[in-house]
Amino acid sequence: MGAIIALLSALNAIFWGYCVRELGDPRLELDFLLKLIFNKWFALAMGTAFAAALLSYAVLRQMGVLAGRFFLSLGAVATVLACALVLGERPTLTEWIGVLLIVVGAVLIGRW
């Protein structure tokens, strides 16, 4: 289930990226808000966020908050990788270090 949540997180970041590229900078104007609400990428981003939130609840309930929350952080790793591979963004050194720390932590907790 954790892999599905990570996939949903990655898809969510991709959908948001396409939404921002299509609509431009956010503005608090009725015209922009209507375009946002009816944008296909926005709808997909909202759907994946909602599905990931529901599955996250199940993981936390099953694993407990401490271990479950740590494994849910793998979604951040999937997000960084998806943004780099699909959207062409370049993660900073700090972000790569964060990815490494999350993966190492998940491996260590997985061995317990």
Would you state the pLDDT for residue 110?
67
Would you state the pLDDT for residue 112?
58
Would you state the pLDDT for residue 35?
94
Quick: pLDDT tens for 98-109: 999 988 887 887
Quick: pLDDT tens for 9-62: 899 999 999 999 999 988 899 999 999 999 999 999 999 999 988 888 888 888
How far, CA to CA in Å, does 25 sit from each of 19, 33, 46, 80? Answer: 10, 12, 18, 21
Task: Decide: residue 15, CB within 10 A, 0-12 exposed, 13-18 middle, 19+ buried.
Answer: buried
Closest Cα partner for 110 from 57, 84, 71? 71
Structure tokens at 36: 């946002």
Would you state the pLDDT for residue 41?
96
Task: Please list, in sequence order, all residues whose beta carbon lies within 8 angstroms of the beta carbon of residue 26, skipping any fewer than 6 positions away.
Answer: 20, 32, 36
User: How many structural domains compose the chain?
Assistant: 1
Would you state the pLDDT for residue 2?
72
Asked whether the beta carbons of 44 and 63 are under 8 A apart, the reply is: no
Residue 79: give the domain boundaries. Answer: 2-111
pLDDT bin (cut points 50, 70, 90) of residue 7 is: confident
Torsion of CA 61, 74, 45, 59, to 10 degrees: -10
Instruction: Tell me the pTM.
Output: 0.76
Quick: pLDDT tens for 65-103: 777 777 777 788 888 998 898 889 999 999 999 999 988
Asked whether the beta carbons of 71 and 112 are under 8 A apart, the reply is: no
